[in-house]
Amino acid sequence: MKHVDYFSIIQKYIALDSLMYSIYVPHVTLVTAKALGIARAKGLSGESLRFIEEAGMLHDIGIVKVDSEKLGCTGALPYICHLTEGRKILEVEGLPRHARVASSHTGVGLFKEDVESNAYAIPVQDYVAETLEERIISWADVFFSKTREELWYERTMDEARETIARFGERHATIFDEWAEEFVI
């Protein structure tokens, strides 16, 4: 597996001197570090660890297309679109496996029913982590915010569960299942 120069990709889309970069890099670094710790504890292969590092660092690249003043994002799309836009960007970069992570990393999954009931501005389908590597990155992401006030703060298990449980019982149940699998 060829190494991906993820910083070159990040810097291709996000200016080094921007607010977005100052939020993006710490967030993805913290998520990636947590994901790698879980993957190492589970004894994943070097190839899986490398993929988790690369995909973890790129999982939120789609924010470059969204409108979020607090994140320094000046795109035109709603925040939820960072899933589909991230997938598009990484597919253009020739990274289809990484693109799957970008589109499926939100919480413990975003289901077709969630998309429909919330009238999200993305195609109606499931956005769910399927592989172990995808689930590990999604799990790690639950513990870190991109808000400046909480950028360096890792949520506790209770706080993370509460965040996920807001989306319904199905999400809380999956969180509990993943907790059994990933808590070291």
The per-residue pLDDT for 22 is: 97
Q: Is residue 125 part of a domain?
A: yes
Q: Is residue 1 part of a domain?
A: no
% of the chain at pLDDT higher than 90 = 98
Q: Helix (H, G, I), strand (E, B), or coil: what is residue 120?
A: coil
| pLDDT confidence tier of residue 184, bands split at 50, 70 and 90 | low
Q: What is the mean pLDDT of the chain?
A: 96
Q: What are phi and psi of 3, to 5 degrees?
A: -70, 140
Q: Helix (H, G, I), strand (E, B), or coil: what is residue 74?
A: strand
The per-residue pLDDT for 16 is: 97
Q: In the chain, how many domains are there?
A: 1
Q: Is residue 176 part of a domain?
A: yes
| pLDDT confidence tier of residue 1, bands split at 50, 70 and 90 | low
Q: Is residue 149 part of a domain?
A: yes
Q: What is the mean pLDDT of residues 44-70?
A: 97
Q: Is residue 41 part of a domain?
A: yes
Neighbours of 119 (CB within 10 A): 7
Structural contact between residues 144 and 137, judged by C-beta atoms closer than 8 angstroms? no
pLDDT at 63 exceeding the cut of 70: yes
The amino acid sitting at 120 is: Y
Sign of CA dihedral 108, 123, 116, 67: positive
Pull the structure tokens for residue 95: 């990274």
The per-residue pLDDT for 2 is: 82
pLDDT tens across 89-123, in order? 999 999 999 999 999 999 999 999 999 999 999 99
| pLDDT confidence tier of residue 177, bands split at 50, 70 and 90 | very high
Q: Helix (H, G, I), strand (E, B), or coil: what is residue 90?
A: helix
Between the alpha carbon of residue 101 and those of residues 15, 54, 106, 117, 147, the distances in Å are 23, 10, 9, 23, 21
Please give the Cα distance from 99 to 131 (Å, whole number). Answer: 13
Q: Which domain holds residue 97?
A: 6-182
The amino acid sitting at 9 is: I
Structural contact between residues 30 and 144, judged by C-beta atoms closer than 8 angstroms? yes
Predicted model pTM: 0.96
CATH number, domain with residue 72: 1.10.3210
Residues counted in the chain? 184
Structural contact between residues 113 and 81, judged by C-beta atoms closer than 8 angstroms? no
Q: What is the mean pLDDT of residues 16-28?
A: 97
Q: What is the mean pLDDT of residues 130-138?
A: 98
Closest by Cα among 107, 93, 18 to 55: 93
Q: Is residue 136 part of a domain?
A: yes
